[in-house]
Amino acid sequence: MKSALGIIISREYLERVKRKSFIITTILMPLLMVAMMAAPALIAAFSGPEKQTIAVIDDSGVIAPKLQNDGDIKFKAVTGELADVKANDDYEAILVIGKDVVSSPNGSVTLYTHSAPSMQTEQFITSQLEKNIEDLRIRAYDIDNLEQIMKEVEVDLTMQTFRLDKEEETATSSILSYLLGTFMMLILYIFIMLYGQMVMTSIIEEKNNRVLELVVSSVKPNDLMLGKILGIGAVAVTQILIWAVLLMACTLWVMPLVIGAAASSDDPTVVQAISQLGDAGFMAQLLGFMVLFLVGGYLFYSSIYAAIGSAVDNIQDASQLQSVAIVPIILAFIISMAVVQDPNSGLAFWSSIIPFTSPMVMMARMPFGIPVWEAIVAVVVLFGSFFGMIWIAAKIYRVGIFMYGKKPSVAELIRWTKYK
């Protein structure tokens, strides 16, 4: 015979996996993740500057002939007064180059536009001017064989990185670590927010329907809360396992193509990235800790959401108390974006130990090959904090589920935790 806790877990699990919303999100989420990964490339492809013609008034007489057009921006040298050119609607912008732009360190260049120029347009024009002015200034020294000398001094340097803090020298790719860390941090962010709020919403709905009052007559409030958390957690695990299977299927199909392309590549950066990605031990460790932080982060925050759900009567009231959970999650997200730039800083270490931020921050650091003991300490602290948080949340929950018509303040919630 099942225990009361087991019955609640089964009920929460079966009720949700049978919903159409579960099936739809299970199918759509992988597509959404693919779209998110493809979005930067699509944005770059379609966000280029619009086709425009830029009139160039070159008082120096030497820059305009050297300006190169590209597919979207066309330069056209013109003569005449600036006021007359401004009155001509054939040009989207007017570039005025001062007479002393080559000889003077502070030569003047001015761009007039009929609308706000894009950053890409400004950068393109600036880079063209800088390149040509630098070239003309160097040529002014009248050095023999200048073009040959310039070609000989050009440097195209590629740096390989090896870790010395391992048993063997190990090739590593900072770019791959950055991408993996950012991706896993985003997964945890979405996971904790989505399923934590699902726990809160479920409790609010049942509280409004007076279902909880009937259930607690035969089940302890603590078991009811824990059953909801674990039941919805089981739904989350099911969904993630389905996504993992789909991801592995895609990986088995894509990886041979990627490895084949990398094998023919002479770029050491690409070779290092594929070498790191193909390290079975590294990937197994990464996935193992990801599961631990997913579970620990969910349990920790879902107990906070459960306490919030039990203390209010509707979603509107809950939105104000949610800051207790949302602010640390957003803070962890912000810190994680800084941590992937410097995974060994003091901020990175301490924020990956503190349970409010550790799930996301630690996963942002893990691909960089941090010491395993740091991850183990973070896991122990996180799960230990969960037991402390569930104890506090249970005290709020057992009082809150019987409170109606009044939104409690934070001070009142603290007072509830002191009731015996």
Cβ-based burial of 301 (10 A; exposed 0-12, middle 13-18, buried ≥19): buried
Q: pLDDT value at position 253? A: 65
Which positions ≥6 away from 110 have C-beta within 8 Å? 95, 96
Cβ neighbourhood burial of 185 (10 Å; 0-12, 13-18, 19+) = buried
Q: How confident is the model at residue 1 (pLDDT cuts 50, 70, 90)?
A: very low
Contacts of 101 (CB under 8 A, 6+ apart): 60, 63, 107, 108, 109, 129, 133
Q: What is the mean pLDDT of the chain?
A: 78
User: Which of 159-173, 313-327, 373-387 is predicted with the least confidence, judged by mean pLDDT?
Assistant: 159-173
Q: Are 239 and 25 in contact (CB under 8 A)?
A: yes
Whether residue 44 is predicted with pLDDT greater than 60 in this model: the reply is no
Structural domain boundaries in the chain: 52-140, 174-416
pTM of the model: 0.68
Residues 239 and 229: their CA atoms lie apart, in Å, by 15
| pLDDT at res. 223 | 77
| Average pLDDT score over residue span 35-47 | 61
- Domain 52-140 CATH superfamily: Periplasmic binding protein-like II (3.40.190.10)
260 or 405, higher pLDDT:
405
| Band of pLDDT at residue 401, cut at 50, 70 and 90 | confident
**What are the CA-CA distances from residue 248 to residues 185, 253, 255, 277 (Å)?**
19, 9, 10, 14
Q: Please name which of 97, 102, 277 lies closest in space to residue 183, comparing C-alpha atoms.
A: 277
Question: Quick one: what percent of the chain has pLDDT higher than 70?
Answer: 79
Q: Is the dihedral of CA 24, 19, 239, 386 positive or negative?
A: positive
Distance CA 176, CA 274 (A): 9
The answer to whether residues 355 and 381 touch, using CB atoms and an 8 Å cutoff, is yes
- pLDDT tens-place string over residues 13-37: 888 888 887 888 777 777 776 666 6
